[in-house]
Amino acid sequence: MADKQVWLITGAGRGMGLDITKAVLAAGHAVVATGRNRERVAQAVGASDDLLVLTLDITQPGEAEAAVQAALDRFGRLDVLVNNAANFYAGFFEELSPEQINQQLATSLLGPMNVTRAVLPVLRRQRAGQIITISSTAGLVGFEFGAAYAASKFGLEGWMQSLQAEVAPFGIDTIVVNPGFFRTELLTEESTNFATHPIADYNERRAAQEQFWTGHNGQQTGDPAKLAQALLTISSQENPPRRFLAGADAVATAEQVAAVLQQETAAYRELSSSLAYDEPAASAGH
């Protein structure tokens, strides 16, 4: 890749996306900063000759295609896509409405697919590029009150792993980022939505869960500005990692997931390995 790159970043107006945008600009690259509210993104990021601010609702494939075309018209190329925009529908699965689950998947799974689908023809023509997708530790392990969110992030994981095999022959790299708790705006009222169909059996646990999540807003241990710098570091490597665990808590989660998977593999190894089809014995011939 050239020293000066063009990055397209979704959800760039606040939270982690804003920190990534500022870091990429400070490093001397050009940025296509997108968000649902163009004015808000422009105000948050500030002015720069290397900046193009665009309206992009990632749930709308047409807007993704228009953003990519506008980026090409301005800069002539694209080098790095950061799929960052997301939201959080928190709640017990039974209390989440089908509409809420659809919204979670539309934003956190199908949205990144829309933008990536629009970007891929450009990267293929260039025979170079990177797709960085922000997942979560919720893409490694599910958790109570996080059924919809974890479903979207587990989906991201499988999609990105499959995509890597498909686009590697074109010189395109994919990177999945699994942040732990970072002090972003994911837990603000604008990004977090709670289940809307309360069931009495969940009342006590729901109250505790809502208190936990709202109480963690602004108290997360991770620094998104440091994560932004880390992304610049791994992106610049000749062979960037397929996965980057962001935060000591994410590392601990991954180690726990690996240990549990090893235990589950060993516990039923004999039974699991005994399921081959028994071919009938060949009859003796004369």
Which residues are designated catalytic? Answer: 149
Rg (CA), the chain: 21
* Beta-sheet strand order (sheet of 30-35): 51-55, 30-35, 6-9, 80-83, 129-134, 172-179, 243-246
Let me know: does 44 contact 68? Beta carbons within 8 Å: no
Give the whole-angstrom CA distance, residue 265 versus residue 269: 6
List Cβ neighbours of 71 (8 Å cut-off, separation of 6 or more): 6, 8, 32, 52, 54, 78
Running DSSP on this structure, what letter comes out for residue 66?
H
Burial of 262 (0-12, 13-18, 19+ CB in 10 A): exposed
Closest listed residue to residue 142, CA positions, set 154, 160, 158, 156: 154
Three-class DSSP category at 30: strand
Three-class DSSP category at 110: helix
Amino acid at residue number 245: L
Burial of 169 (0-12, 13-18, 19+ CB in 10 A): exposed
Three-class DSSP category at 47: coil
